[in-house]
Structure 1
Amino acid sequence: MIQKYPVGIQDFGEIRTGGYLYVDKTAFVHSLVTQGKYYFLSRPRRFGKSLFISTLACLFLGKKELFKGLYIEDKWDWKQTFPIIRISFSNIGHKEKGLYRAIDEQLDNIAEDYGIVLREKVISGKFKELIEKLSELRGQVVVLIDEYDRPIIDYLGEDTAKAIENRDIMKVFYSILKDADPHLKLVFITGVSKFSRVSIFSDLNNLTDLTLSHHFSASCGISEAELETYFQDELKVYDKEKIRAWYNGYSWDLAVSVYNPFSLMHFFREGKFHNYWFDTGTPTFLIKLTKQIHLYDFENKETSLSHLNSYDLERLELIPLMFQTGYLTFKSYDEEGDIYTLGFPNKEVKKSYLEVLLDAVREYPSDQGIVLVNELRKTLLVGNINKLEGILNSLFKSLPYELWQKENEHFYHAIIHLAFTLLGVYVQSEVQTSDGRMDALVRMKEYIYCFEFKLDGSADEALKQIKDKGYLQPFAQENKKKIAVGINFSTEKKKVEALKWELIA
């Protein structure tokens, strides 16, 4: 361990007084507080939103000693302080108490801290009264709301009625902010799902959305420049390109790409590549939705910004959800068509998501899928074609009979696609889906494999197709062995019925 990393610590004061590494984000804080008043920022979980909120709180409380040596130190009037209403919806106990009661108690607690007695009985009235009385006593109020959408996200896919109920409660709660403008210094709201804001904050139409702003693209996460500045000693020890492949790749403006701070800090502390961020919250609902709509190819997904902003609790869309929660990110933009292309941000997310999805499709409650994919990798590495049939059959072995009867073709294609896409995490592997192209191509150190799969067809027919269409011809000049593999899968037998291969000159 080279530095003291603030893994899991979201309190700015604790980081600054505890000797932990702090990546200076106060330039963004300064820009925020001097250029506007109402803001919203969406970022995935564990990306530094809560730390940003904490930094703002310390700034407005005038805790100058915490900002020594930081960008904002000599750019702020430390003599002036402001009262703060700060609510984090991740820890107010909305599940145990119910959202309405949890908000009600939170407002009472804040009022008590400032020596204020609230007379209003409903939460919207209490919120308004608290802002007005604080403003009269202490000056304009700073409102900091962290993870505003947690009471919705916690019920996605489980209890839609509860999610809608919570959405409606929050809409009423936030409705008073616009008329409270004379009493407010700053309103800053964070969440995972920026698309929910359309209905919840419909009355607060002066809210500036920073989510896709180029000026705030690196406000959360760690940029390349920050990596090189704050982790110079670590980069002398570890492979920077490998770190980038595992943990970089998140972009909200297609100009700046950032590292996942949670995974990066964990990696430097442990010295081991692992799925740190993914392991803190398996996306069960997204996996379930993915299975329902039979979508297994997440690279180069084209969509519009309006689609990403759409949000209907009663008809959830997978791609916007995956984008908002950090499982997909921007890869490119077609300005003429006004279309964004999305994909997995990095190896951690791609590997983890597809591993969980593969086992979910196979309905096998373990990590056996990735074990078999690794066996496939080792087998192809040494050219042991004879073992292929057994490995592929093992991938399908656990599928219940009922699934085969109902959706055999969907499950067959899903497992083949996921297995070979996962193989691409370790070696150069592509799975094609368009007509007239090979089903799968795998490039190893000494071999190039072309696979053609048939369902209730013929392995000979598959092999013939590879040769007739010249799928391996583009690689003729490479000094590697080219192997064509035709495979026929039988839905009746639920296994590989025949496998034929041939070395192509």
Structure 2
Amino acid sequence: MSSDKLPIGIQSFTEIRTRGYAYVDKTAFVASLVDSGKYYFLSRPRRFGKSLFVDTLDCAFSGKKELFHGLYLSQPEVCWDFETLYPILRVDFSGSALRSTIDLEQWFDRLLTRWEARFDLHKTEGSPGERLISLISMIVERLDNQVVILIDEYDKPILDNLGDPALSTRMRDILKDFYGAIKPLDNYLKFVFLTGVSKFAKTGIFSGLNNLNDITMDRSYSPICGYTEMDLSRTFRSWMSRFNQDDVRRWYNGYSWVGESVYNPFDILLLFSKGEFKSYWFETGTPSFLIKLLSENPRSLPVLDSFLASEELLGSFLIEKILPETLLFQTGYLTIKGESRVGEKLFYSVGFPNLEVKSAFSSLMLSILGGSADISMNQIGLDSILNAGDPNRLRDVFHSFFASIPHDWYRKNKLSGFEGYYASIVYAYFASLGYEVIPEDTTNKGRINLTVMTRTGIWIFEFKVQRSEGCKDQGPLAQIRERGYAEKYRADGRKVYEIGIVFDPESRNIVTWEVG
């Protein structure tokens, strides 16, 4: 297990317990899973503690009772059987970099060969799935005990190669053969648990293992990974006293899978170690295939921050047809904010989980939307402009940025042609610097395109794109005034600024900037 998934300086789950460190007890979930079923699948973003939970399952089924002293699983009323030691087969792709089908086949061959040597079994033959069936039946016959299978990052060979759909499909087929071999082994198995980042459609990788209980969006298991508010106040009380709790919550809380929201544990541990708020999780790397997908299938940033999605949209995808919204949710860049019903159908309100993701993702998208334009130079001084309440200088900032995007970039990219391109840049500008940005801000008379909250003011923006056929729509500032958008904030105490912006798709810049 790599140290970047544990507290700073700690190398293993065993060390956490033996050195007496404060701990977050997730063992009640272990008991619940085993009591309720046998086959489980859990999807969570990278660096959320999936591997540590798999370690916990491993230690529990291995009978390492000394590690669970004082934890839920060791309580007498739970009746966990620490005396029975189950043979455990672990599959962990987290440290692998498999770039061909040959790499994956050889990886499986090495893994299965190690298992054969470990249990002193003869060499098995056939595909990875066929060998697994033979191997497990021999283990049970030799040890007279059922087997536990723990698979961590089941999808990594596919995700690592999504840039090459043909290769990722071939990887999927090899994995499908292996995972599908688990189902016929029911009588030989005690417990099966798979983790991953993504969930592929049942017609894909899991078609042969359709008895999995997917707990990804099960309300009772929402906090199975990550830290809850109670975890921070109870286990990390002394560490939290060094920070403003509202700031910690704003930066790192907000991840939710229908149930209780959680903090990103990777962020929290690095915050305690380094003592400053930064985008620790985001900076560990955004997958290149995600950047490519967003470049080829652009989405409006304000819309991504607040939209309704069906369970089908969030639940799974096919390699051949990946929607950005699905992948963004499964990889942790979007999360569930609430639920609502339309007729008999359940929809989820989806958006960015917290300030870290919103600001860092906006910076990433700003670089994609703006090509090679110098973003940082245009952002310098923005805070002073907003605090001074100078709308005309603010216009100069945005006009300068749009003017700095090379014409050749527009020729090579279709991004500027999608609806919401201009609003996305304005949104990304503010959100990337950490301002509170509210897209589609609801009032009793309509929705404000964008509201930006600063320490000294509230800025209301309405956007329109100039129509080439000459038909004149109502101006954006007139719409703000007619619908009384500013009334929502009159009692706030901060000055309210009303800005109407019209963009010209021909010149690709601002043609009208009206200030109220």
Q: TM class by shorter-chain length? A: 0.7 to 0.9
1:348 corresponds in structure 2 to: 356
1:377 corresponds in structure 2 to: 383
The one-character-per-residue Cα deviations of 1:386-419 (angstroms, maximum 9, x if unpaired) are 4223311332244231344575853794244343
Aligned residues: 495
Tell whether 2:133 aligns with 1:119. Answer: no
1:282 corresponds in structure 2 to: 286
Q: 1:438 to 1:42 in 2, by over 3 A?
A: closer
Matches within 5 A, 1:68-467: 68-74=69-75, 75-95=79-99, 98-138=103-143, 139-156=145-162, 158-196=163-201, 198-253=203-258, 255-296=259-300, 297-335=303-341, 336-364=344-372, 369=375, 372-373=378-379, 375-404=381-410, 407=414, 409-410=416-417, 413-420=420-427, 422-424=429-431, 426-432=434-440, 439-453=449-463, 455=465, 463=477, 466-467=480-481
Q: 1:481 to 1:94 in 2, by over 3 A?
A: closer
Q: What code does the residue aligned with 1:278 have?
A: F
Q: 1:55 to 1:445 in 2, by over 3 A?
A: closer
Tell whether 2:57 aligns with 1:56. Answer: yes
Residues in 1 aligned to 2:273 and 2:354: alpha-carbon distance in whole angstroms: 20
Give the superposed CA RMSD.
3.1
Name the stretch that deviates more: 420-429 or 270-279: 420-429
Residues in 1 aligned to 2:202 and 2:254: alpha-carbon distance in whole angstroms: 25
Residues in 2 aligned to 1:490 and 1:466: alpha-carbon distance in whole angstroms: 20
Q: What code does the residue aligned with 2:195 have?
A: T
Residues in 2 aligned to 1:93 and 1:23: alpha-carbon distance in whole angstroms: 31
Q: What code does the residue aligned with 2:317 have?
A: Y
In structure 2, the gaps of 5 or more residues are none
Residues in 2 aligned to 1:469 and 1:34: alpha-carbon distance in whole angstroms: 56
Q: Secondary structure at the match of 1:351?
A: helix
TM-score (norm 2): 0.86
The one-character-per-residue Cα deviations of 1:106-128 (angstroms, maximum 9, x if unpaired) are 11012112222223232222111
Q: 1:358 to 1:92 in 2, by over 3 A?
A: closer
Q: 1:268 to 1:198 in 2, by over 3 A?
A: farther
The one-character-per-residue Cα deviations of 1:174-196 (angstroms, maximum 9, x if unpaired) are 22212211211111111111234
Q: Secondary structure at the match of 1:200?
A: coil
Name the stretch that deviates more: 259-268 or 460-469: 460-469
Q: Secondary structure at the match of 1:321?
A: helix
Name the stretch that deviates more: 123-132 or 13-22: 13-22
Q: How far is the alpha carbon of 1:431 from its aligned partner?
A: 4.3
The one-character-per-residue Cα deviations of 1:222-272 (angstroms, maximum 9, x if unpaired) are 11121211011122221111111111111112x311111111111111111
Residues in 1 aligned to 2:97 and 2:489: alpha-carbon distance in whole angstroms: 60
Name the stretch that deviates more: 218-227 or 202-211: 202-211
In structure 1, the gaps of 5 or more residues are none
Q: 1:410 to 1:378 in 2, by over 3 A?
A: farther
Matched-pair contact (CA < 8 Å) for 2:215–2:221:
yes
The one-character-per-residue Cα deviations of 1:134-174 (angstroms, maximum 9, x if unpaired) are 11122211111111111111111x11011100111111112
Residues in 2 aligned to 1:245 and 1:477: alpha-carbon distance in whole angstroms: 24
Residues in 1 aligned to 2:91 and 2:186: alpha-carbon distance in whole angstroms: 19
2:35 corresponds in structure 1 to: 34
Q: Secondary structure at the match of 1:94?
A: coil
Q: How far is the alpha carbon of 1:80 from its aligned partner?
A: 1.4
Q: 1:117 to 1:410 in 2, by over 3 A?
A: same
The one-character-per-residue Cα deviations of 1:69-120 (angstroms, maximum 9, x if unpaired) are 2221243222210111111022355337521121111110121122222232
Name the stretch that deviates more: 90-99 or 270-279: 90-99
Q: Secondary structure at the match of 1:174?
A: helix
Matched-pair contact (CA < 8 Å) for 1:135–1:141:
yes
Q: 1:374 to 1:346 in 2, by over 3 A?
A: farther
Matched-pair contact (CA < 8 Å) for 1:6–1:21:
no
Q: How far is the alpha carbon of 1:356 from its aligned partner?
A: 0.3
Q: How far is the alpha carbon of 1:292 from its aligned partner?
A: 2.6
Q: What code does the residue aligned with 1:401 have?
A: H
Residues in 2 aligned to 1:90 and 1:101: alpha-carbon distance in whole angstroms: 16
Q: How far is the alpha carbon of 1:349 from its aligned partner?
A: 1.1
Q: What code does the residue aligned with 1:313 have?
A: I
Name the stretch that deviates more: 462-471 or 70-79: 462-471
Q: What code does the residue aligned with 2:205 have?
A: I
Q: 1:49 to 1:500 in 2, by over 3 A?
A: closer
Residues in 1 aligned to 2:175 and 2:97: alpha-carbon distance in whole angstroms: 15
Matched-pair contact (CA < 8 Å) for 1:12–1:51:
yes
Q: Percent identity?
A: 39
Tell whether 2:501 aligns with 1:501. Answer: no
Name the stretch that deviates more: 73-82 or 419-428: 419-428
Matched-pair contact (CA < 8 Å) for 1:330–1:343:
yes
